[in-house]
């Protein structure tokens, strides 16, 4: 499985102190926002033409942002898409039929039968990870989430 663990050790904890008990929840929201920015960046820059046949968006939809079970203050960006691991396999991968003798698929409306299909290696996760502007995203996400939380607090205190 392909995954990126996002760990932003103490980059905005001083700003979160004003939220008291809610600080951990807000920190997690910041991490999720960073993960969503990475996901959008990856779709825009690395996932065009990555699907056999037509673009279904399955590779992009398979990129999930989840809370790390061991560390509740961290999130993991990972891909559950079936094709994602194939693209990262060194040397590419061969797809062969599990049942029957031939693979059947459509290309431009024509039905094609083949004994196997070779996919070239396309390691888009490491490329996207190294090209993404992490520091800028962390700052932008922290500013955005904290501003939203301050606005909620002000609305609560002003409305009571």
Rg (CA), the chain: 21
Which residue range is the domain that position 95 belongs to? 2-159
- Structure-token match 């979160």, residue found: 16
pLDDT tens per residue across span 2-55: 566 666 666 777 888 888 888 888 888 888 898 889 888 887 887 765 544 445
Number of domains in the chain: 1
Tokens representing residue 57 in the block: 């968006």
Of the candidates 89, 113, 87, the one whose C-alpha atom is nearest the C-alpha of residue 100 is 113
Q: How much is the pTM?
A: 0.66
């Amino acid at each position: 499985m392909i995954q990126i663990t996002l760990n932003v050790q103490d980059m905005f904890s001083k700003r979160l102190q004003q939220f008291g008990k809610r600080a951990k929840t807000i920190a997690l929201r910041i991490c999720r926002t960073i993960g969503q920015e990475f996901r959008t960046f990856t779709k825009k820059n690395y996932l065009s033409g990555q699907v056999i046949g037509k673009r279904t968006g399955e590779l992009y939809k398979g990129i999930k942002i989840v809370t790390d079970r061991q560390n509740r203050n961290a999130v993991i960006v990972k891909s559950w898409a079936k094709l994602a691991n194939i693209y990262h396999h060194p040397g590419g991968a061969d797809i062969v039929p599990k049942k029957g003798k031939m693979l059947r698929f459509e290309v431009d409306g024509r039905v094609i039968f083949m004994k196997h299909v070779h996919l070239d290696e396309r390691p888009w996760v490491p490329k996207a990870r190294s090209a993404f502007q992490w520091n800028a995203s962390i700052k932008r996400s922290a500013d955005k989430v904290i501003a939203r939380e301050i606005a909620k607090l002000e609305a609560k205190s002003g409305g009571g």
